């Protein structure tokens, strides 16, 4: 199972591929693993190095246990390549099931009645601090069952130097303005492309969602997967029109997102939909790039974007560790602790207090305004996986002449 960030950002290197050996860390007071004051915590590595994920959690756990010497937190870290298999193995028995888990999907565990509701493992103040859209995305049947860890959304990155050369004075707000601006940039020549449209198989569902959401579309209605709707069709047709205008990079139907991001960083594309790690990638690869960010253009100009989040969840097991888990969760989501974790990992805080503490952070400056307008994949629906796979396989064909309505119909059929 790949996490949402990995599906949404695969190839953008937000996760360093690690072959981590299992490590178990305990600080402070020692107690029996099955005791109510010993918490087993399974987490993935988002980053490596001296300030990477393991170092962050080790420091958080050490500080928490210094303040709570009666509680022991035992950390086990895995790479994203192995954590799904580890979870499957551990859930074979209650004794090996982790008390706290950081992973992408929570729905199957919640549907099987294995998880504490979020209100049982976090204080009212923590629950109220979470951005409403992300809290809803962490809910099943109206009850919040997980805690969003941090967020990734999309926003328009544009090359201000190319804008100036093309005589464009402001970033586009609507699709019509986007096409006009992309066409002007494309006319500069010299291998410059106006807009990077990644419809290759890596992650075309991400780019497509930005356009379908921008037309008022959605991938679900209640418990139904809804692909071939008029609104979704309007968004896909708008992408096709942009391709037909000749204002994208060559062969957009076979181009992956990592490729358009790299081309933007190199100054060869005027506009892309970027992600939080794009900020640090630019700083590391081409710090002299002149760029700015703006809300993603939509049909009407009203902002909307794609949001994804990984989650923390806690397994009920015999119910004896709820108090200890709640103390640990509340400590982690306190503004100083949580904001440092998010800033170091380079994502977006999903708590209001965390965002407030990071007002000067470059990622927060670029993305915080996207949180209230973020829409999500219907990952709570078991049929979404098939629909998402079909989008990856089919959407690029619209850039090769396929009819958008026929493409959406094929995807809808795959989701049955």
In the predicted model, what is the mean pLDDT of residues 214-238? 96
Alpha helices in 215-307 (DSSP H): 230-244, 257-265, 276-285
Strand boundaries in 301-385, DSSP class E: 305-314, 374-375
- Span 69-80, mean pLDDT? 95
Tell which residue, 245, 267, 259, 244, has the closest CA to residue 164. 267
- Does the structure show a pLDDT above 60 at 20? no
Strand 374-375, strand 305-314: pairing? parallel
The yes-or-no verdict on residue 9 having pLDDT over 60 is no
And the tokens for 216? 């008022």
Instruction: Look up residue 258 and give its two tokens.
Output: 């990592």
E strands, 222-268, are 224-225
Local confidence band at 65 (pLDDT 50, 70, 90 cut-offs): very high
As a whole number, mean pLDDT of residues 34-52 equals 91
Which of 59-68, 75-84, 103-112, 344-353 is modeled with the greatest confidence? Answer: 59-68
Determine the pLDDT at residue 33. Answer: 67
Q: What is the predicted pLDDT for the residue at 90?
A: 95
Q: How confident is the model at residue 10 (pLDDT cuts 50, 70, 90)?
A: very low
- The whole-number pLDDT of residue 32 equals 53
Mean per-residue pLDDT, 10-25 = 33
Q: What is the mean pLDDT of the chain?
A: 90
Residue 4 banded pLDDT, cuts 50, 70, 90: very low
**What is the Cβ-side half-sphere exposure of residue 236, based on CA atoms within 13 angstroms?**
31
What are phi and psi for residue 288, nearest 5 degrees?
Answer: -85, 0
Q: Determine the average pLDDT of the residues in 295-300.
A: 97
Instruction: Tell me what the mean pLDDT of segment 182-208 comes to.
Output: 96
Q: What is the pLDDT of residues 22-38, one digit of tens each?
A: 333 433 333 356 789 99
Share of residues in the chain with pLDDT > 70 (%): 92
By C-alpha distance, which of 30, 314, 376 is closest to 147?
A: 314
Residue 124: pLDDT over 90 = yes
Instruction: Tell me the average pLDDT across 320-345.
Output: 97
pLDDT reported for residue 253? 97
pLDDT score recorded for residue 8: 36
Q: How many CA atoms lie within 13 A of 5 on its CB side?
A: 28
Q: Once rounded to an integer, what is the mean pLDDT over residues 49-78?
A: 96
Least confident of 6-15, 239-248, 377-386: 6-15
Distance from C-alpha of 263 to C-alpha of 267, rounded to nearest angstrom:
6
What is the model's pLDDT at position 129? Answer: 97
Taking residue 191's Cβ as centre, other Cβ atoms within 10 Å add up to 10
Closest CA to 214 of 252, 180, 172: 172
Rounded to 5°, angle at Cα 278 from 276 and 284: 125
Question: Per-residue pLDDT for 222 more than 50?
Answer: yes
Query: What is the reported pLDDT for 389?
Result: 92
pTM, whole model, 2 decimals?
A: 0.81
Give the mean pLDDT of 102-130: 94
324: three-class secondary structure by DSSP? helix
- Residue-wise pLDDT tens digits, 271-293: 999 999 899 999 999 999 999 99
CA distances to 143, 327, 345 from 340, rounded to whole Å, are 29, 19, 9
Instruction: Calculate ∠ Cα 56-273-229, nearest 5°.
Output: 115
Burial of 188 (0-12, 13-18, 19+ CB in 10 A): middle
Mean pLDDT, residues 324-349 taken together: 96
Q: Which residue has the higher pLDDT, 265 or 385?
A: 265
* C-beta neighbour count of 17 within 10 angstroms: 10
């Amino acid at each position: 199972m790949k996490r949402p960030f990995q599906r949404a950002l695969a190839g953008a290197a937000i996760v360093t591929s690690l072959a981590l050996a299992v490590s178990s860390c305990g600080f402070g007071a020692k107690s029996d693993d099955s005791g109510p004051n010993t918490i087993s915590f399974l987490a993935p590595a988002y980053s490596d190095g001296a300030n990477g994920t393991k170092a962050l959690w080790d420091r958080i756990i050490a500080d928490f246990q210094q303040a709570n010497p009666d509680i022991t937190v035992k950390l086990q870290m895995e790479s994203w390549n192995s954590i799904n298999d580890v979870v499957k193995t551990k859930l074979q028995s209650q004794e090996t099931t982790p008390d706290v888990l950081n992973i992408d999907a929570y729905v199957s565990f919640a549907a099987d009645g294995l998880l504490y509701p979020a209100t049982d493992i976090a204080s009212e103040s923590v629950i109220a601090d979470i951005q409403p859209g992300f809290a809803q995305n962490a809910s099943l049947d109206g009850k919040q069952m997980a805690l969003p860890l941090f967020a990734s959304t999309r926003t328009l990155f544009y090359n201000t130097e190319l804008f100036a050369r093309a005589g464009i004075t402001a970033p586009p707000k609507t699709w019509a303005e986007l096409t006009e601006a992309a066409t002007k940039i494309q006319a500069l020549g010299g291998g410059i492309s106006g807009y990077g449209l990644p419809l290759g198989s890596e992650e075309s569902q991400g780019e497509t969602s930005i356009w379908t959401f921008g037309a008022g579309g959605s991938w679900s209605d209640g418990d139904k997967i809804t692909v071939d709707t008029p609104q979704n069709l309007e968004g896909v047709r708008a992408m096709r029109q942009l391709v037909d205008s000749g204002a994208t990079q060559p062969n957009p139907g076979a181009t992956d997102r990592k490729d358009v991001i790299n081309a933007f960083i190199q100054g060869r594309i005027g506009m892309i939909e970027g992600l939080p790690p794009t900020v640090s990638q630019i700083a590391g690869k081409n710090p002299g790039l002149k760029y700015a960010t703006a809300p993603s253009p939509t049909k009407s100009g009203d902002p909307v974007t794609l949001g994804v989040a990984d989650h923390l969840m806690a397994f009920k097991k015999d119910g004896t560790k709820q108090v200890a888990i709640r103390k640990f969760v509340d400590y982690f989501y306190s503004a100083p602790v949580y904001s440092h974790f998010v800033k170091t990992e380079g994502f977006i805080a999903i708590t209001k207090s965390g965002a407030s503490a990071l007002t000067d952070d470059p990622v927060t400056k670029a993305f915080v305004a996207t949180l209230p307008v973020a829409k999500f994949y219907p990952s709570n629906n078991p049929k979404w996986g098939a629909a998402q796979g079909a989008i990856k396989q089919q959407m690029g064909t619209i850039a090769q002449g396929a009819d958008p309505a026929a493409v959406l119909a094929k995807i809808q059929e795959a989701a049955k």
